[in-house]
Amino acid sequence: MKLSLYIKYIAIAVFSFVCFVVKAEQTDTNIRQKQVCEIEDKTHHRVGFNGSLTSSLSWLLEFSYHYMLNRHIGFGGSVGSWEVYYEEGWASGSNWKIDEDYNKPWNFFIRPSILLKTPALKHRACSWSVFAEPGVMLNIPYQSVCIESTPNWPAADYDYISTTKGQWLAIDLRIGVSLDIDPCGVSVGYVISNHDVYSQYRHLSYNGISFKNFYPHKSLMQGAYISLSYNL
């Protein structure tokens, strides 16, 4: 009789201990989640290093900053540079051509943007969310190229021509998936833009010959996007 009573007491004690451990674990988890939320609520500065490869055979690199009003919306922008890495045209004529070092359009830009993020799906230290970042790319409205002229071949003369015409403003949208492991994050996605990388080149001319027919018109640009970020 006493043995069964002891077993009963032991079972009650074990059950009580298990309940205590589970409750303590839940409390600890809730505290950690509360602390994470408090940290996230106090995090307002997001800096990033971003890059993309596009259907216009160009690359883009930039540094970005956004002030996060909360965990879901931020205002800011970026500064960077882009360049065509494989040209799709080459302006040339009788005894002249664009110097090969100048035949790949490039430019510097600033890009004001809004960062939008959905509520996160959390698993342990990882927070997954979907983001959208509409922006406006403002390029320097100026392009200059070097012309190699060979009227007395093999001797070569060099002239420089420039333009302030062509597209310098482009609208774009980046969408994708973001993974945050505080304070670091990585985002990958898709970019679409009306940026025409050859627009300024088509407004150049030399010896009365327009470059319009030498370079393609690209009204839609698409590409892949990646961002490495840090939250302060």
Do 179 and 83 reside in the same domain of the chain? yes
Spatial contact of 134 and 114, defined as CB atoms under 8 Å apart: yes
Do 34 and 115 reside in the same domain of the chain? no
Please report the pLDDT score of residue 168 as a whole number: 96
| pTM (predicted TM-score) | 0.79
Do 87 and 114 reside in the same domain of the chain? yes
CA–CA separation, 117 and 114 (whole Å): 10
Q: 73 lies in which domain range?
A: 45-231
Do 134 and 196 reside in the same domain of the chain? yes
Do 37 and 119 reside in the same domain of the chain? no
pLDDT in tens, the chain (232 residues): 444 544 454 455 445 544 544 454 555 455 455 554 554 556 799 999 999 999 999 999 999 999 999 989 999 999 999 999 999 999 999 889 999 999 999 999 999 999 999 999 998 889 999 999 999 999 999 999 999 998 887 778 999 999 999 999 999 999 999 999 989 999 999 999 999 999 999 999 999 999 999 999 988 999 999 999 999 8
Q: Which of 197, 192, 187 is nearest to 173 (CA)?
A: 192
Domain containing 95 — which CATH number?
A: 2.40.160.20
Do 115 and 225 reside in the same domain of the chain? yes
Do 33 and 76 reside in the same domain of the chain? no
Please report the pLDDT score of residue 10 as a whole number: 47
Do 95 and 184 reside in the same domain of the chain? yes
Please report the pLDDT score of residue 19 as a whole number: 54
* Partners of 178 in beta bridges: 129, 187
Do 52 and 26 reside in the same domain of the chain? no
Do 140 and 213 reside in the same domain of the chain? yes
Alpha carbon 105 to chain centroid distance? Answer: 20
Please report the pLDDT score of residue 153 as a whole number: 79
Do 197 and 140 reside in the same domain of the chain? yes
The residue whose two tokens read 């990646």 is 226
Do 113 and 32 reside in the same domain of the chain? no
Please report the pLDDT score of residue 54 as a whole number: 98
